[in-house]
Amino acid sequence: MRAGDNADSLDQATKDFVAARPQLFGIAYRVIGSATEAEDIVQEAWVRWQGTDRAGIQEPAAFLATVTTRLAINFTQSARARRESYVGPWLPEPVNTSLDPQLGAERAEAVDLAVLFLLEKLNPVERAAYVLREAFEYTYRRIADIVETSEANARQLVSRARKRLTAERREPVGSAEHRRFLEVFLAAAQNGDLSVLEEILTEDVVSYADGGGVRGASKIPVFGLPHVSRYLAAFAPRFWPQAEVRWVEANGRPAVLVSADGNAVALLSLDVSARGIERIMWVMNPAKLAPYVASLER
């Protein structure tokens, strides 16, 4: 092979990778739940793509998606032990979806923070199969090839994942209603208004604060309407007076970025059904907030 041929080959490989990259990131992020770690997976896929004999590969995007998915599955399997020792509740790392609502997918499914949080309860292969089917509309045959199983088993993997999510999450409200609930919640939380909180929170509401052991966040989830409403009311005078709030979009939903002295301290996100607020999610870990805040400035 002449030097020019090799340069042309690498140039085409780069074009193929750049074209596939949004989908590769979308797959890795949904499977892992971390934008930072998903970027590492995509970078590893690029390294492998450079070192691959590409002459016989007819569909670069399909090949790259397979490599990325398998890398993400392997990473998630090894990350489970680390997350089990995580200090306090673990929440997915938020992403700014204002520029790419689908986050590289054919559909926006499995990008909502609440969905990603529940997907963490699945095993990595179930999670990957669900993501490929629901967000990227892959056929069961392709899913089977990627996760190295039979087509029938691929169907079972997706079916089990759907049932698990359906059992643990009620149908969410639309974006306008979601924002209305968030506006009412924010005002009630800031004022410590117990009566309003008791109206909008469900009986079995849960509040999760992911501080990663760095911030003074609750290290255990707070369960149930009486406990959560009193917790928020008690929290109000200490947290909100010095806080600045900014309305943002995170994972396809309205959210609120809370700052103090010019530094982001929390991203507030809700999971809302027709019953009311089901989950309150406070992402307070600086390592998860920093990439999100940086993305808002780009």
DSSP string, 246-293: EEEEETTEEEEEEEETTEEEEEEEEEEETTEEEEEEEE--HHHHHHHH
Residue 105 has pLDDT above 50, yes or no: yes
Q: What is the pLDDT of residues 217-262, one digit of tens each?
A: 788 999 999 999 999 999 899 899 989 999 999 999 999 999 999 9
Single out the residue of 289, 286, 164, 279 nearest to residue 228, CA to CA: 279
Q: What is the pLDDT of residues 185-223, one digit of tens each?
A: 999 999 999 999 999 999 999 999 999 887 677 889 999
Q: What is the pLDDT of residues 124-174, one digit of tens each?
A: 999 999 999 999 999 999 999 999 999 999 999 999 999 999 999 999 999
Compute φ and ψ for 240, nearest 5 degrees: -85, -30
Tell me how far apart the alpha carbons of residues 114 and 105 are, in angstroms, rounded to a whole number.
18
Which is it for the CA torsion 147, 153, 154, 156, positive or negative? negative
C-beta separation of 244 from 172 below 8 A: no
Q: Which two tokens stand for residue 66?
A: 């397979």
Cα–Cα distance list, 280 to 117, 129, 191 (Å): 12, 27, 17
Percent of the chain clearing pLDDT 90 (strictly above): 82
Q: What's residue 2's pLDDT? A: 41
Section 21-44 average pLDDT: 96
Per-residue pLDDT band for 79 (boundaries 50, 70, 90) equals confident
Which residue type, as a one-letter code, is found at position 15?
K
pTM over 0.85: yes
Residue 3 has pLDDT above 50, yes or no: no
